[in-house]
A and B are shown apart, each in its own frame.
Chain A
């Protein structure tokens, strides 16, 4: 969260959601929207396209989350897209999670996996990451096929990468430098 503006957005949304009493729901819905945007190139390019009129973007958002997400989430996403910051949405969502975790005296562990994780795995991850980082963590799972296999965890600036993607990167590096 190096970017002040992203931090500002995250804090604003956190305060509003907390005031509305729907912090947990907004937090997970924002992460879901962020994931949708991250995993779909089409969605990302249309939402960030400065040539596309706002009402078209609104229509896309309505189709994506309208009626399913809470009004607070919809309002927050609309605000971000209207400000032309759709590309920052994943970071803002993670920022909201981090601010929320901080308010509960916890840190967020962003866990990326190619497949969804069951609750037992999440519990084990929470325990191990809390011990490894020395902080109470809240695990937020992001399903990301680009990981290919295994898990990538990030707590703050610490990244623990056990993914196949990283191994393949290492192989690529070796092949290229040889």
Chain B
């Protein structure tokens, strides 16, 4: 503690005489410094500044361009999206229209098929009726003809069996008489 107190006293004593000479340089040194600074400033201002300014300007422009492009891309993307949405909506409408059309044509076809089937059935029924009646009249005609044949045949047999010698002679005589008249 004693040591520290001694140090402080010492410092206070040495500073007391030349406080300004510690901060401010000598006048010649100051002039040389000012000239050197001016030279460096001139060089920097003359050559380095424009380069830096140009580079900065370039960078600024590049960033602006990129931003603009990004903005453009965004706009394009939005326009595409809206296009897609519109197309989607259109496609939906078209799809439901097609489905509706298909349903309608299916209904039409169904109705057509049913109508045709009914018509065909009616035709078949009519034909069957016609055939049945034709068949019946044919059978009737057939039966008639057969009855005729059978009865005539029977009549022939009965006549043939009932002819005796006298009847035969009478028939032959009549034939001869007719023949002699020619």
Q: Which residues of A contact B (CB under 8 A)?
A: 113-115, 117, 121, 124-125, 128-129, 131-132, 145, 148-151, 153, 160, 162, 164-165, 168, 171-172, 175-176
Contacts and interface: CB of A to CB of B under 8 A. Distances in A.
A108 B60 CA distance: 148
A128 B180 contact: yes
Interface of B: 144-145, 148-149, 151-152, 155-156, 159-160, 163, 165, 167-168, 171-172, 174-176, 178-180, 182
A175 B160 contact: no
Contacts of B178: 162
B182 A114 contact: no
B165 to A, nearest CB: 7
Given A131-B180, A149-B160, 18 more contacts: A114-B163, A114-B168, A115-B165, A115-B168, A117-B172, A121-B172, A124-B176, A125-B179, A128-B179, A128-B180, A149-B159, A150-B174, A150-B175, A162-B171, A164-B156, A165-B156, A176-B144, A176-B149
Given A121-B172, A121-B176, A132-B179, A149 B152 contact: no
A149 B171 contact: yes
Contacts of A128: 176, 179-180, 182
Contacts of A168: 152, 155-156, 159
17 contacts: A121-B172, A124-B176, A128-B176, A129-B179, A131-B182, A149-B160, A149-B167, A150-B172, A160-B179, A162-B175, A162-B179, A164-B160, A164-B163, A165-B156, A168-B155, A172-B148, A176-B144
| 8 cross-chain pairs, A with B, having the tightest CB-CB distances, nearest first | A175-B148, A162-B175, A128-B179, A172-B152, A150-B171, A148-B160, A132-B182, A168-B156
A128 B155 CA distance: 31
Nearest to A147: B160
Contacts of A176: 144-145, 148-149
A49 to B, nearest CB: 28
Contacts of A113: 172
A69 B144 CA distance: 49
